[in-house]
Structure 1
Amino acid sequence: MIKAKANRLLQGGLPMSVWKPEDIDVIGNSMEVRVAALRRDGTLQRPVTIWIVRVGNELFVRSWRGQKGEWFRDAQAQGRGRLWAGSIERDVCFVMETDPELNDQIDAVYRTKYRHFMQYVIPMIRPEVRTTTLKLMPCS
């Protein structure tokens, strides 16, 4: 019973659950995914292509443009959106991640996963971009 409750976290009143193992594998191994945040009026933005990293059984994204990214601002404000990765399409909840130690781990995964694109990795691990780290969770 307690575990079931833990799997349905509430972030800002939004019911969330954990990723299915097969989904987290596909999404976490994707080099790029598309996300669209909800706008204030409840419609989805135009999807943007972004990098995604996996730490354990959690998925994280960042805004390459930092706080200026429109998708990020709406994701932060509304907390909901949609993700596409391969054949997977899921409604997601965006949860701010501020733990410095976890952000260090996320930086390390960016460096490893995208090592062939180091000129783009460097901006992704800048302090101002780290402040846009969002955990993605399946959202119902």
Structure 2
Amino acid sequence: MTTWTVDELQRIGDATELRVSSYREDGTLRPYVTIWMVRVGDDIYIRSMVNAGTPWYRRAKASGTGRIQAGGVERDVTFAEAAADVHQTIDDAYHAKYDRYGPGPVGAVVGPGTAPVTLRLLPRD
């Protein structure tokens, strides 16, 4: 299994935003969407704001694979489910990183309703 390098984790984790795209059936990339992300340990997580209806999230779930750009790192990824026991830690990481933007934006990516719309990014070769 491919893992993030220490340098990639640092650079992605330190970036404020991440650009995410999913692959179409024909192998081409969809347009990138800019979102927030957090690093928790050796993992990178992204969340859809509030619900599973956002287009980028629906496409990522359907495709299962995509590409990300953040902190000067560009990698193909697999979109995986997050473990059930990590969601509070992810919430805490979002608060630590983004609370400076106020309760509205952060409130859209934390809390009990966000667990089903959380994706773990797994690097691919």
Alignment of 1:10-49 (within 5 A): 17-49=2-34
Cα pair 1:80 1:92 within 8 Å, conserved:
yes
* CA RMSD, 1 decimal: 1.4
Which residue number in structure 2 is paired with residue 103 of structure 1? 87
Please list the CA deviations of residues 17-58 of structure 1 after superposition, one character each: whole Å capped at 9, or x if unmatched: 110100110001111010001123332111000001011111
Which residue number in structure 2 is paired with residue 4 of structure 1? none
In structure 2, the CA distance between the partners of 1:40 and 1:133, relative to structure 1 (3 Å rule), is same
Which of 30, 33, 54 is the equivalent residue of 1:69? 54
* TM-score after normalising by structure 1: 0.82
Gaps of 5+ in 1: 1-7, 9-16
* TM-score after normalising by structure 2: 0.91
Where does structure 1 differ by over 4 angstroms across 4 or more consecutive aligned residues? Answer: none
Give the residue type in structure 2 aligned to 1:113.
Answer: K
> How far did 1:129 drift?
2.8
Please list the CA deviations of residues 84-118 of structure 1 after superposition, one character each: whole Å capped at 9, or x if unmatched: 1132111111101141x200110011111111013
Which of 40, 48, 51 is the equivalent residue of 1:55? 40
> How far did 1:133 drift?
0.5
For 1:91 and 1:22, the matched residues in 2 are separated by 16
Which of 100, 114, 139 is the equivalent residue of 2:98? 114
For CA contacts below 8 A with separation 6 or more, give which structure has more relative contact order: 2
Size of the aligned set, in residue pairs, is: 124
Which residue number in structure 2 is paired with residue 135 of structure 1? 120
For 1:122 and 1:65, the matched residues in 2 are separated by 8
